[in-house]
């Protein structure tokens, strides 16, 4: 699917990260090509969220290298801003501004970061609200929306910046079961459009249907990485087998 001569859009080389005495990431090596979809799973505390937060520099890695679109992430503010402008992130808790309407939540970064005027920003915001199927919610406040609608607003806000890569940190974990599918449907639309994506999730049906590779993490390490058919049908590591038996039995 990907050109073998193409430079990966994301490279992690021997990335380590600790919080005090707790090692959250231990020698993480991962490459993601343009258009590739990676699903990351694993038990709570395995380092999944920390890994993708490091890619967006919401956490600073201690050692190793992280390269996004050919640019290494260092402590240089200019590099961090450049990477963040290319990497959209959607969190489990939506992170919308409660005092702003939906449309103003979307327009804010377009005006501040992309330097668009108000009418340009509104035009882009409306386009992406349509893309996530909720244009009629533009003038409501986040508190007036369901959790699924709020998460779709958060996705639209990230997409407004026209990112090269989308990072999803358990985007459905805070949602009631009946709202999960509406968010996953929007994510499947993005997959079908060729968006490069790293998604931390326990939604194994989604993983099976959209992922090019599934990464299983435990104790801050990548334990196993395989295409979905092999991951579910022939896991090699005992920790992977145990994890799958626990989540699939539920």
Give the CA distances from residue 248 to residues 132, 206, 238, 242, in Å, rounded to whole numbers and listed in that order. 29, 13, 15, 10
Q: What's the pTM value of the predicted model, to 2 decimals?
A: 0.93
pLDDT at 185 over 70: yes
Cα separation values, 181 from 67, 187, 188, 224, Å: 33, 10, 10, 27
Where does the pLDDT of residue 3 fall: very low under 50, low under 70, confident under 90, or very high at 90 and above? very low
Q: What is the pLDDT of residue 26?
A: 97
- Ordered by where they begin, the domains of the chain are 10-249 (3.40.50.300)
Bridge partner list, 205? none
Going by C-alpha positions, the residue among 52, 51, 43, 19 that lies closest to residue 218 is: 43
- What's the mean pLDDT when you consider all of the chain? 93
Q: Does residue 169 surpass a pLDDT of 60?
A: yes
């Amino acid at each position: 699917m990907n050109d073998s001569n193409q430079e990966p859009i994301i490279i992690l080389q021997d990335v380590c990260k600790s919080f005090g005495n707790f090692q959250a990431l231990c020698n993480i090596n991962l490459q993601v090509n343009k258009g590739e979809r990676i699903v990351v799973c694993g038990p709570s505390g395995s380092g999944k969220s920390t890994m993708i937060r490091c890619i967006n520099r919401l956490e600073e890695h201690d050692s190793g290298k992280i390269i996004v679109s050919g640019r290494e992430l260092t402590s240089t503010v200019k590099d961090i801003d450049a990477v963040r402008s290319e990497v959209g992130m959607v969190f489990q808790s939506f992170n919308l501004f409660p005092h702003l309407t939906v449309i103003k939540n979307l327009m804010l970064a377009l005006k501040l970061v992309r330097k668009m005027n108000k009418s340009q920003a509104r035009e882009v915001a409306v386009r992406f609200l349509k893309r996530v199927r909720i244009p009629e919610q533009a003038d409501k406040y986040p508190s007036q929306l369901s959790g699924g609608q709020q998460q779709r607003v958060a996705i639209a806000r990230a997409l407004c910046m026209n990112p090269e890569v989308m990072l999803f940190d358990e985007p459905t974990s805070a949602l009631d079961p009946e709202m999960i599918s509406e968010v996953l449907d929007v994510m499947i639309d993005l997959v079908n459009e060729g968006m490069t994506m790293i998604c931390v999730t326990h939604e194994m049906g989604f993983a099976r249907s959209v992922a090019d590779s599934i990464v299983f993490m435990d104790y801050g390490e990548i334990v196993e990485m395989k295409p979905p058919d092999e991951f579910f049908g022939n896991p090699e590591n005992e920790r992977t087998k145990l994890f799958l038996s626990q989540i699939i039995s539920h």
